[in-house]
Homo-oligomer: A and B are copies of this chain.
Amino acid sequence: MVLMVSEEVRDAIATGRPVVALESTIIAHGLPRPRNLQVARELEAAVRREGAVPATIAVLDGTPRVGLDKEQLERVANEDGIRKLGHRDLPLAVAAGASGATTVSATALLAAHAGIRVFATGGLGGVHREWTVTQDESADLGLLARTRITVVCAGVKSILDVPATLQRLETLGVAVAGYGTDRFPGFYLSDSGHPVDWRLDTPEEVARVMRAQDALGGSESALIVANPVPEDEQLDPGVHARVLDEALRACEAAGVTGQGVTPFLLDHLVQHTDGASLEANLAAVRGNVGLAARVAAAWAAGA
């Protein structure tokens, strides 16, 4: 195994203490410097505050690392040329000795390899609005269909095709539950406008589903715990609707297509909400990290 697990994370796993995996794409590619490093540290501290061990995941110089030290975290935040690695990129990055931040798919895969069962992120990748032309769909969905991990997220970004993403999760057989809600969260918003079939209300209930997954056996699929941003920290729904609509029209008017669409829309949202979309994003991530730590604790307690 080429995977390097930090001593602290290894000890926690070996002794059955709660661990929460964290992805690094938000640090390297999702936030501006120097805020990105502050947030990375804040999220790790939030996990510790709940009594769990954070395991931020990235690839450095061709070594996939689970649990980063101070200097490694700084490299992810500040080094130029850090790539963005999905799960299919991992062997190529290892062979090339490359450094990269891990997306949800790569993080989930490496976390599961290391023996970590709970993972917190902002939003999952999903089906892109242009899918009927491009077939663009994140590798996150298929990877979660075959990886036994619990992902706490705030849904998927509203720049994606949310109902199509929900359909794909159903088609792929990935379990989805709302946390404290019967609605699928809308990332920036507490409610995407779409229902979910199952609701869980406590970390213990989540852990019970995880144990049922293992008891049932079968294919190693994930559990998505869809945790809404608190209503008082969400982006104003009226502002969201207006700015998203503007962003979609501006994108079309500018002739942006394919890989350029997502950064264009996200940038438009940040600019035209005076940063409020970024604050809602961070509120969502914070909530997810805290909940993931409590779920990891409930899981560790019952193991």
Residues of A at the B interface (CB closer than 8 Å) are 1-3, 64, 86-92, 94-96, 105, 109, 113, 127, 131-139, 141-143, 145-146, 163-164, 167-168, 170-177, 197-198, 205, 208-213, 215-219, 221, 223, 258
A197 vs B100: C-alpha distance when bound (angstroms):
13
On whether A94 and B135 interact (CB within 8 A), knowing A88-B221, A175-B88, the answer reads no
Chain B residues with CB under 8 A of A164? 134-135
In this complex, what residue of B is CB-closest to A205? B95
Are B168 and A91 in contact, with the CB atoms below 8 A? Answer: no
Chain B residues with CB under 8 A of A3? 216
In this complex, what residue of B is CB-closest to A161? B135
Are A173 and B95 in contact, with the CB atoms below 8 A? Answer: no
A131 vs B164: C-alpha distance when bound (angstroms):
9
Chain B residues with CB under 8 A of A137? 167, 171
A3 vs B79: C-alpha distance when bound (angstroms):
51
Are B2 and A212 in contact, with the CB atoms below 8 A? Answer: yes
Are B172 and A92 in contact, with the CB atoms below 8 A? Answer: no
Q: Quick one: which of B64, B87, B134, B219 contacts A167, CB cutoff 8 A?
A: B134
Chain B residues with CB under 8 A of A221? 88
Q: List 6 A-B contacts (CB under 8 A).
A: A2-B216, A88-B174, A92-B197, A96-B198, A137-B171, A142-B171
On whether A88 and B216 interact (CB within 8 A), knowing A134-B164, A135-B164, the answer reads no
Are A173 and B134 in contact, with the CB atoms below 8 A? Answer: no
Known contacts A92-B209, A136-B171, A139-B173; 8 further A-B pairs (Cβ under 8 A)? A89-B175, A91-B209, A92-B175, A96-B198, A113-B216, A134-B167, A139-B171, A142-B172
In this complex, what residue of B is CB-closest to A224? B88
Chain B residues with CB under 8 A of A136? 167, 171
Q: Among the interface residues A139, A198, A213, which one has the most CB atoms of the partner chain B within 10 A?
A: A198
Query: What are the 10 closest A-B residue pairs judged by CB atoms, nearest first?
Result: A91-B212, A94-B212, A95-B208, A95-B209, A91-B213, A135-B167, A135-B164, A88-B173, A2-B215, A92-B198
A141 vs B171: C-alpha distance when bound (angstroms):
8
